[in-house]
Structure 1
Amino acid sequence: MLQKGTTSAGPGSASLILDAIRVAGTISRVGISQVTGLTGATVSNVVRRLLEQDLILEIGRAESTGGKPRVLLELNPTARYAIGVHLDHSALTFVVVNLAGAPVFQETQSGIAQASPDEVVERMAHEVDAMILRSGIERERVLGVGLVSPGPLTSQSGIHLAPPFMKHWEEYPLDVRLSEATGLPVLLENDATASAVGEYWSGGTDREANFATLFMGTGLGAGLFMQGSQYSGASGNAGEVGHTCVDINGPQCWCGMRGCVEFMAGPHAVVAKAHSDSVLAHELGLTALPPDSEITSQFAVIATASAAGNTRARALLEESARYIAVAAHSVANILDLQMIVLTGQGFAAASDIYLPRLQETLSNSFFARSSHSVDVRLSRAAETAAAIGGAAIVLQSEFVPQRSASLVANVRKAGAVSELSTLSK
């Protein structure tokens, strides 16, 4: 498995320097010393090793301000790669990302339906091998696979408590089986947390250190970042906002609680309400779909009809958005967030409904709004965010296992990023 706390450049200071370069984008050796607190000699020695290993590049010099122009450094994006696999009932999504967290290859396939776990793992392993070949990447540059699935998860057995449509996956050792099938290290994470890591690593949060992602695919969850580090909770299942109660007298959810927001307003609920009205279901074309059509596909049909002017389809989505806005409001209040990023196929399909509703709710009633606002935005890669995040978790585990909580703030204070503007060609 990936060894946390080490890199090929050596442990400790190498990881810290790599993360400083990644956070800053472009930075000099002097800038690295300022933001990390490492001595100039240590920075020079580590940077030399990182250059020898092709992990970073010298890209030019900053314009002189009176002394010798500083040499600027940045990550070498082609030095290493990671693979992300998002396992969901509705779809299998695969991505290859480079060291900077940017996707270089991606593919989405039909979901797992009722296939056995062993069959799906074989399918995933075959696609991982095929992607490496098609992308032309040297296999030794691939660090591993980030496998992402709905939670709750345990590190020993994969999915611990599965929703009804994935019951046959309970206690299946996902990461172990996929690692055996691919010959690559595999890290397992839930979809919402993975999407948050992906947003942070790839720059989708503009270096904001306190934010949450709301992930809506088949279900609804949240990924949490506090002071520049992901917050996973005691068992790695923090952020299950979909199982926040919004109606204590509501229907029983599969998790054991009543009136959960996912059960009341998630994609399953929206699709079920559309089917409960036979006239509407026929009007939307839902009755013409195969009986085993995936929930995300049916939800997308409703979203498309809403965007085309169907008022009843729009009403279903607006009701869902009101519930989810309440859940987002609770998360923002509890954690005093400055940003919420909407990710996943559900938000991608109906962002015109959900995004303004959440923005309005948080603008009008966020408790700390007199101190700061909450920036609510749609992910730039909403449909593939979880898979990208899975790959980013591999990169993070390998190169940035212990991020300093103050690193992002130090980069800002030192003004290291400003060196970009004085780059001499």
Structure 2
Amino acid sequence: MSELRPPAPRRGTNLPKMGDFNLTVILDAIRRSTSGLSRVELAQIVGLSPQTISNISRRLLDQGLIVEAGKYGNGPGKPRTILRLNPAGMYAVGVHLDPAVTTCVLLDLVGNVVQQESFGTPDAGGPRAVVDSLAAAVTKLVSDSGVNAESIAGLGVSAPGPIDRDQGTVVDPPLLDGWNRVALRDAVAKATGMETILDKDVTGAAVAETWAGGDTGTGSFVFFYIGTGIGCSIVLEDEVVRGISGNAGEMGHIMVDPEGAECDCGLRGCVKVACIPPVMVAAAVAAGLVPDARQDESIGSGTCLQERFAALLDLADEGNDEALAIIDRSAVLISRAVSAITNVLDVERAVFGGPFWSRLAPYYLDRLPELVNTSSSTRDIHEIEIASSGVGEDVGAVGAACLVLEHVLAPKAQRLLLQN
């Protein structure tokens, strides 16, 4: 019988680290207020003393992260000064690596896209060609923006999973041949000269939602990323849950159709073989709705998939019954996975986004609320809201930039722990 080992002791904190944590708490409270907050309101919200609020506010003002944005007063007493984020106080670069198109954005502190660049992800040349193209695009992005490079906090890369966050590698992602254990984080850092963070695209999307999504990015929710595959990311009480290896949210092997096709895991009717966009396109090809391009290109590859998916949705928009049936079936099957996940986590909402979402949204938003809430174990207590991302089309790239802002500025309990 193996000897039981006690858990590793948690290390404590000290006053400087407590001060840094309080600074991020105050900054986060200001960020989440659409109209700004006074120092008095901050003290009420975060529970710190007026003196602490005053001292930290001065630090944030001196660092240029917040600004004083006028005064207000509705009664007797001195008008209160409103504090808001300074959009130009900090910037971050985000890169979304997709098998078809790589998108780069420059984001300001409040989550606005200042500059955007996109390029076709190179098919030839492997990871080296992609990194070189990425570095050139980032250099152009920063130059065209006119933003001082010293105000850019870093660069975030969101990539298809699975990933190894500790090593900064992507581990054999779908549709990126030859990308097994590619040290993408370090390669991008070397090529751009920027401190770089790597995370999964769906995780980045969830971070983007918490940072720039507005009402849909608050509280507890699950973000469902509709791309070539479907992944989800979990946000509980405003904090993204990543899992021990950074790969939480892999939902491809949730069974949604027991009579469906066999999956490589040995089960039948898993999400990845039942209802993702390539499966919908394959059904459309089989029905003769869209051309079969397999003679010269795989039905699931980047540009080919996007074109045929768009053609399928065009037919649905025109009222084609077969196209509508394919989309409706996918919505029913997806609702089963969404219900399973939201029942386990007891969240407020399911948020959908990603490159394939905008065309599916009218159909899924018409069907999913009833399907999910009918299967909800908490339907007699609260409804599960079904919503579109508040970030928009570039949620993957915006999420990558938000990874940097989150890393630098978001309040986390880990900030209080002393390092070894």
In the aligned structure 2, how far is the partner of 1:205 from the partner of 1:64? 27
Alpha-carbon distance change, 305 to 394 in structure 1, aligned in 2, over 3 angstroms: same
Letter in 2 for 1:162: P
Q: Which residue number in structure 2 is paired with residue 17 of structure 1?
A: 26
1:310 and 2:320 equivalent? yes
Q: Which residue number in structure 1 is paired with residue 412 of structure 2?
A: 402
Letter in 2 for 1:23: R
Q: Deviations over 1:149-194 (max 9, x none)?
A: 111111215222422x224111001111001100001111111111
Q: Is the 8 A contact 1:89 1:294 kept in 2?
A: no
Q: Is the 8 A contact 2:336 2:372 kept in 1?
A: no
User: 351, 356, 365: which is aligned to 1:346?
Assistant: 356
Q: Which residue number in structure 2 is paired with residue 31 of structure 1?
A: 41
* CA apart distance, 1:390: 1.0
Letter in 2 for 1:20: A
Q: Is the 8 A contact 1:98 1:104 kept in 2?
A: yes
Alpha-carbon distance change, 207 to 320 in structure 1, aligned in 2, over 3 angstroms: closer
SS at 2:323 equivalent: helix
Percent identity reads 35
Q: Which residue number in structure 2 is paired with residue 138 of structure 1?
A: 148
Q: Which residue number in structure 1 is paired with residue 285 of structure 2?
A: 275
Q: Deviations over 1:73-106 (max 9, x none)?
A: 0000111111111111122111111101121222
In the aligned structure 2, how far is the partner of 1:37 from the partner of 1:391? 30
User: 269, 291, 311: which is aligned to 1:301?
Assistant: 311
In the aligned structure 1, how far is the partner of 2:410 from the partner of 2:85? 13
Q: Deviations over 1:200-241 (max 9, x none)?
A: 111333553111111011110011100110111111111112
In the aligned structure 2, how far is the partner of 1:380 from the partner of 1:345? 14
SS at 1:148 equivalent: strand
Q: Is the 8 A contact 1:51 1:57 kept in 2?
A: yes
Q: How does 1:88-237 map to 2 (within 5 A)?
A: 88-155=98-165, 156-163=167-174, 165-206=175-216, 208-237=218-247
Q: Deviations over 1:54-80 (max 9, x none)?
A: 110101112143221211100001111
In the aligned structure 2, how far is the partner of 1:376 from the partner of 1:158? 33
Letter in 1 for 2:38: S
SS at 1:236 equivalent: coil
Letter in 2 for 1:263: V
Q: Is the 8 A contact 1:216 1:347 kept in 2?
A: yes
* CA apart distance, 1:386: 1.4
SS at 1:189 equivalent: strand
Structure 2 unaligned segments of length 5 or more: list them. Answer: 1-13, 415-420
* CA apart distance, 1:288: 11
How many residue pairs were aligned?
393
In the aligned structure 1, how far is the partner of 2:376 from the partner of 2:230? 21
SS at 1:71 equivalent: strand
Alpha-carbon distance change, 210 to 181 in structure 1, aligned in 2, over 3 angstroms: same
In the aligned structure 2, how far is the partner of 1:310 from the partner of 1:249? 26
RMSD: 2.4
Alpha-carbon distance change, 340 to 112 in structure 1, aligned in 2, over 3 angstroms: farther
* CA apart distance, 1:110: 2.2
Determine which structure has greater relative contact order: mean sequence separation of CA pairs < 8 Å that are 6+ residues apart, divided by chain length. Answer: 1
In the aligned structure 2, how far is the partner of 1:220 from the partner of 1:288? 23
Letter in 2 for 1:152: P
* CA apart distance, 1:107: 3.2
Q: Which residue number in structure 1 is paired with residue 65 of structure 2?
A: 55
Alpha-carbon distance change, 294 to 90 in structure 1, aligned in 2, over 3 angstroms: farther
Letter in 1 for 2:169: G
Which has more helix, going by share of residues? 1
Q: Which residue number in structure 2 is paired with residue 389 of structure 1?
A: 399
Q: Is the 8 A contact 1:29 1:71 kept in 2?
A: yes
Alpha-carbon distance change, 354 to 70 in structure 1, aligned in 2, over 3 angstroms: same
Q: Which residue number in structure 2 is paired with residue 368 of structure 1?
A: 378
* CA apart distance, 1:252: 4.3
Q: Which residue number in structure 2 is paired with residue 336 of structure 1?
A: 346
User: 274, 283, 297: which is aligned to 1:291?
Assistant: 297
Alpha-carbon distance change, 127 to 289 in structure 1, aligned in 2, over 3 angstroms: farther
In the aligned structure 2, how far is the partner of 1:114 from the partner of 1:329? 41
Alpha-carbon distance change, 78 to 42 in structure 1, aligned in 2, over 3 angstroms: same
Letter in 2 for 1:229: E
Alpha-carbon distance change, 356 to 403 in structure 1, aligned in 2, over 3 angstroms: farther
Alpha-carbon distance change, 257 to 193 in structure 1, aligned in 2, over 3 angstroms: farther
Structure 1 unaligned segments of length 5 or more: list them. Answer: 405-425
In the aligned structure 2, how far is the partner of 1:206 from the partner of 1:378? 8
Provide the TM-score with structure 2 as the length reference. Answer: 0.87
In the aligned structure 1, how far is the partner of 2:179 from the partner of 2:347? 34
Alpha-carbon distance change, 356 to 290 in structure 1, aligned in 2, over 3 angstroms: farther
Q: Is the 8 A contact 2:155 2:401 kept in 1?
A: yes
In the aligned structure 2, how far is the partner of 1:338 from the partner of 1:347? 20
In the aligned structure 1, how far is the partner of 2:296 from the partner of 2:45? 57
In the aligned structure 1, how far is the partner of 2:118 from the partner of 2:326? 27
* CA apart distance, 1:195: 0.9
